[in-house]
Amino acid sequence: MGNIPVCDADRIAAENSERYHVRDWGNGYFSVNSKGHLCVLPEKREDGPTIDFLEVIAEIKNLKVSFPTVIRFHDILRSQVRLLNTTFRSVIDECEYQGQFLGVYPVKVNQMREVVEEIIDAGQPFAYGLEAGSKPELLAVLAYNDNRQALTILNGYKDEDYIRLALLGRRLERKIIIVVERFSEISLIIRLAKELGVEPMLGFRAKLSAHGTGRWAGASGERAKFGLTCSEILSGVALLREQGMAHCLKLLHFHVGSQIPDIRFIKEAITEAGRIFVDLVALGLPLEYFDVGGGLGIDYDGSRSASESSRNYNLEEYAFDIVDSLQYVCDQAGIAHPHIVSESGRFVTAHHSCVITNVIDNINQTFNKTSTGLCTEREAGEHNLVVTMRASSHDLDEHNYQEIFNDIQQCKDDALSAFRFGVISLSERARIETLYWETLARIQKIVAGQAFIPEQLQRLGELQASQYLCNFSIFQSAADSWAIGQLLPIMPVMRLDEQPEVSCSLVDITCDSDGKINRFIAKSGCDKTLALHALNPGEDYYIGIFLTGAYQDVMGDMHNLFGRLNEVHIYCDDDDPTDFYIEETIKGTSAQQVLTTMQYNPESMARTIKKEIDQQVHQGKILPREGVRLVDFYENCLADYTYLKF
């Protein structure tokens, strides 16, 4: 905290909590403490257990685990499972709804074994089940979802092996429901069920006209790739009746998108699907389950709006609208209330996981003079363009900043042309550019205090922004941020009792120009820069990328052969002085592992390098002792973490 008075530090910490929207996106799990550190509140109580990120980082260092690191807070994962189930149960009781809530976790959202195991354990009292959408996921689900009361929902396109695996689950007396996604699957299921002598539990996925909004709206509507039209549903019912298997149809399913920002579209979908449900029951079909699919959003940007990165409702409203809308439709038709199934994986997993990375360097045009020692003072015989740029910089004041801005823009353009034609030297161009960026920085400070900012100067902050070089790969750890412009909460986990005065974008250590984040949460939409602290020489500076537990953990690629991150699994322990303990660390992928994935042979590569070094030793160009060290160094690099070490 240095010399900052305690009262000022507390005020600044509160301002930073507001600046980074911690309360808005944190869902009660995150706060800033009196030390200026970001903390986790596993029980959502300020007076409860509090896990300090800086204490977690210190313990990670003691364990010799390198950054960047994925940190999983398993208590948050368990809390979200409980919250989802208890909220639906409470709403059901309040509405006197006669069915039950039987949720399932879609494994595709985060297939990590530790995550799935935790969810199954936390969901045991609620008969919380699993959903699979592929054969590998089904193989995992069969092995892990052994709760006879919990559902297993099977989505996705299916071949014979997929269906045989599902029927194996029925042989094991599991409540496995095969959801028909396309009409041709019905005949295949009938044939295999009769061949194996197993009675399946079936569901139909309805292709609704109602559709969601946001990035994943394409998963719904009449052009959706999954689901049966109304005519296909009726034809499917007729086919099941013909084969004496109509009694196997137990569930109606629909899906209107992965992250629904506007509650209106959920209501519309429930009403439309509810009408289909009651009409099928009226045809004598023994439907028991109404599967609302996914779509329960989370508030990435904390705006509580219908924007793509937010939602204009909370969990209680979501549950109430589902229960109330379905109850109304069923009561109108005079049929029993079905059990409600949801596949709310994003809500369950997003908050529990974050990426912590260290900032390596600051890339900033205005730092050139300081970092290189370049002299911009007058020199004999220098070109007039250098003189002009220096004079413009010297004449700048708060009254002529627009004029000076225009002058230095013209001078910089002229200097570039002059350099191309060999009129000025590299040294003169460097001095002109250094003076240009220094002058822009001074103009920006003047403009910041003006009530009106000319349009030309409104982008000065962005032009002057630093680029903080962070030790991670956006393609591996924040894939949605790169691929679809998803806003993710990003903030420092330390020094929050100090004012952040450096406007930044973030760049990663890949060699790809797309390896950057320049969209950040703001009060109105998003900003292209994020306020961070100046880097102190010799001092680590850590930032966190949050809400990465849904999809980001499992969607990353190996661009530049940067592999999976190290993982640290945290559990709350109120009896421990730090209120936590590290239950497990999982090593990220090594260089040889990612190379093997790409069909390289690290052992052969090491032999080749050793052979080359041995030849240099025999020729007397490398000393034998040095040769041994070089071979060991190459082999150690193969076995080591793919990220940078400092």
Residue 576 has pLDDT above 80, yes or no: yes
Q: Which residues contact 204 (CB under 8 A, 6 or more apart)?
A: 179, 180, 228, 233, 236, 249, 251, 252, 253
The Cα–Cα gap between 126 and 149 comes to 9
**What's the average model confidence in pLDDT over 459-480?**
88
Scored b (16 or more CB within 10 A) or e, 51-62 reads bbbbbbbebbee
Name the strand (E) or helix (H) holding 467: strand 466-470
At residue 345, the 3 state secondary structure works out as helix
Name the strand (E) or helix (H) holding 40: strand 38-40
Range 326-333 contact pairs with CB under 8 angstroms and sequence separation of 24 or more: 326/97, 326/270, 326/274, 326/290, 327/95, 327/97, 329/270, 329/271, 329/274, 329/275, 329/277, 329/278, 330/274, 330/277, 330/278, 332/278, 333/278, 333/281, 333/282
From the list 3, 19, 58, 17, the residue with the least C-alpha distance to 580 is 58
Region of poorest pLDDT, from 71-80, 228-237, 372-381, 395-404: 372-381
**What's the average model confidence in pLDDT over 243-257?**
95
The per-residue pLDDT for 526 is 87
Residue 607 has pLDDT above 90, yes or no: yes
What are the domain boundaries of the chain? 1-93+350-580, 99-343, 593-639
Q: Which two tokens stand for residue 23?
A: 């309360």
Angle between helix axes 624-639 and 602-618 (nearest 10 degrees) is: 170
The per-residue pLDDT for 6 is 65
The Cα–Cα gap between 116 and 81 comes to 11
Residue 569 has pLDDT above 80, yes or no: yes
The CATH superfamily holding the domain 99-343 is Alanine racemase (3.20.20.10)
**What's the average model confidence in pLDDT over 144-154?**
95
The per-residue pLDDT for 367 is 47
The per-residue pLDDT for 465 is 84
Percentage, residues of the chain above pLDDT 70: 95
Q: Which two tokens stand for residue 408?
A: 């230095």
**What's the average model confidence in pLDDT over 232-239?**
97
Angle between helix axes 160-171 and 184-196 (nearest 10 degrees) is: 50
**What's the average model confidence in pLDDT over 568-590?**
95
The per-residue pLDDT for 556 is 77
* Span 408-435, pLDDT tens digits: 999 999 999 999 999 999 999 999 999 9
Q: Which residues contact 622 (CB under 8 A, 6 or more apart)?
A: 613, 616, 630
The per-residue pLDDT for 325 is 96
Q: Which residues contact 405 (CB under 8 A, 6 or more apart)?
A: 440, 443, 456, 457
* 1-93+350-580 matches 99-343 in fold: no
Percentage, residues of the chain above pLDDT 90: 79
The per-residue pLDDT for 80 is 98
The per-residue pLDDT for 1 is 45
State the pLDDT confidence band at 246, using cuts at 50, 70 and 90: very high
* Span 184-220, pLDDT tens digits: 999 999 999 999 999 999 999 999 986 655 555 555 4
**What's the average model confidence in pLDDT over 629-637?**
96
Q: Which two tokens stand for residue 436?
A: 């240009």
Name the strand (E) or helix (H) holding 138: helix 135-144
State the pLDDT confidence band at 376, using cuts at 50, 70 and 90: confident
Q: Which two tokens stand for residue 7?
A: 């009262």
Pick the more confident residue, 257 or 28. Answer: 28
DSSP letters for 583-632: EEEEPPPBHHHHHHHTT--HHHHHHHHHHHHHHHHHTTSS-HHHHHHHHH
CATH class held by domain 1-93+350-580: mainly beta
At residue 444, the 3 state secondary structure works out as helix
From the list 125, 589, 98, the residue with the least C-alpha distance to 339 is 98
Pick the more confident residue, 368 or 472. Answer: 472
Residue 372 has pLDDT above 70, yes or no: no
The per-residue pLDDT for 469 is 95
Contact 509, 398 (CB under 8 A): no
The mean predicted confidence, pLDDT, of the chain is 92
